[in-house]
A and B are shown apart, each in its own frame.
Chain A
Amino acid sequence: VSVTPILAPNARRYLEEVRRALADLPETERDALLADVEAHVVEVSEETGDELVARLGSPGAFAAELRSAAGLPPGGAGASGSDAVERLGAAVRRLGERIAPLRRPLAELAPAWWVLRGYVVATLMAWAFLSTGTPAGWLPPTGSRATALLLLLAAVAGSVWLGLRTRAPTPSRRARMALAVLNAALALGAVLIAVEVERNATTTTFVEAGFAAPGLTSDGVPVQNVYPVDRDGRPLADVRLFDQDGQPLAILPDDGDPTRRAVVDARGERADNAVPLRYLEPGGDEVTDPLAGYPADVPPLATPPVAGAPAEQAGAPRGGRERRRAAARRRAP
């Protein structure tokens, strides 16, 4: 229980610094120590005015003496270390205390980390020294599969060896620190690799999707044939399809099928965009059933035709401008 009276600024500063130097102690311990000291510093500062440090020594030295006399361990970073370092150290220690119950289960998982660590080292090494720019899935990108596996095996073995070595007897504090830093760096490496592998995986998927069926597709499925019907429901033959840019819309671009009826325009060029596709009787040059495939019973359209639409001139040549306008009309609801 400490009731802090109005403190002289120098006393308050002094106490704050002592408190900071004791920041790593458990709260109850620190408060118990400081409860007395506060009253004391106040009293001394009243007696001596500004001579607090001359009388009590530096706050750091005061805290160190307090610790040693109370039989407590000396401060981690030492009184001479910067405040930021001391506070960081204290925070890390407190975090360590908090996660202490997790230590055992984490230790059980250590071997898994050793293997992962080996993989990370192998992949980072491949990136740094051997990269040929051809990542083979999740393997270290070394160009050849054998090299990748060899490197991976060596790195994992090394990592496990290191893990077993540092686990058994108590390693020195310095070694422990070095290992902790190394582990943190490699954990970061693991994240980088995960991101890279994920990125490659995504790219691969994208390329595969881009490979999708050539020619005309509908909802991703190749269109095998197109059967145009006019507004009265009458089947149309040899209708040529063009897209919004005036490019021929060829369904199933020539697949080398000898039974497919070849359509050629007046200039002698192939007209693969003429629908419906027709197939010849094997061994002959005739289409057995010219009406095969057309939908039966298509009712005539009730909506009146567009004024001036060339319904009767389906085969007549048209300019690109008109085609684009037609496309615009089609797109409009």
Chain B
Amino acid sequence: MDTSQMLKGIIDVAVLAVVADEDGYGYDVIRRLRAAGLEDVGDASVYGTLRRLYAAGALTSYVVPSDEGPHRKYYGITEHGTLELAEWATTWRRFAGSIGALLERHAEVPS
């Protein structure tokens, strides 16, 4: 199954988690998501998500001037965002555990 479908629902958590690790600008967030194995995440999806999380008060932003290239808008996590992430983390672990248990006895595609 294509992971992009699954990603749609949980991109918020992924972005929050990445920004919680360290503040970052859009492209930086995308790179870190990809490095974490989420290769299918779309660039536009990340920007849209950043914007939505910011509007919801889960992220803050600030502009960092850059000598080479355009100025960059960095995002950081807010207190509200941290709480939300913690909630997500609990839910996710429970959910992943349940699904993992369900799938345990089933064969994987030989790689």
Contact = CB atoms under 8 A, between A and B. Distances in A.
B69 A65 contact: no
A70 B12 CA distance: 11
Main secondary structure of the interface of B (DSSP, over half): helix
A38 B70 CA distance: 8
Given A36-B26, A39-B25, A43-B27, A69 B70 contact: no
Contacts of A33: 47-48, 51
Interface in A77-127: none
Interface string A260-274: 000000000000000
Contact of A62 (B43, B49, B55, B72): B43
Contact of B71 (A3, A44, A46, A64): A3
A32 interface: yes
Given A69-B11, A70-B49, A63 B44 contact: yes
A36 B43 contact: no
B55 to A, nearest CB: 8
A195 to B, nearest CB: 52
Contact of B51 (A36, A38, A43): A36
Contacts of B50: 36
A40 B26 contact: yes
Contacts of A4: 70
B15 to A, nearest CB: 10
Main secondary structure of the interface of A (DSSP, over half): helix
Interface in A32-78: 32-33, 35-40, 42-44, 46, 55-57, 61-72
A250 to B, nearest CB: 92
Interface residues of B, number: 22
B46 interface: yes
Nearest to B43: A56
A68 B48 contact: yes
A36 B47 contact: yes
Contacts of A65: 42, 44-45, 48
A36 to B, nearest CB: 5
B63 interface: yes
Interface in B84-102: none
Given A33-B47, A39-B26, A70-B48, A57 B70 contact: no
Nearest to A3: B71
Contacts of B63: 1
A224 interface: no
A2 interface: yes
Interface in A231-258: none
B48 A66 contact: yes
Q: Which of A5, A64, A69 lies at the interface centre, i.e. has the most chain B CB atoms within 10 A of its CB?
A: A69
Interface in B1-54: 11, 25-27, 42-52
Given A38-B70, A56-B44, A69-B11, 18 more contacts: A1-B71, A32-B51, A33-B48, A33-B51, A36-B73, A39-B73, A43-B27, A44-B27, A44-B43, A55-B43, A57-B44, A62-B43, A62-B44, A69-B42, A69-B46, A69-B47, A69-B48, A69-B49
5 contacts: A39-B26, A65-B48, A69-B51, A70-B51, A70-B52
Closest 7 pairs (CB-CB, A-B): A69-B48, A70-B48, A65-B44, A39-B70, A69-B45, A66-B44, A66-B48
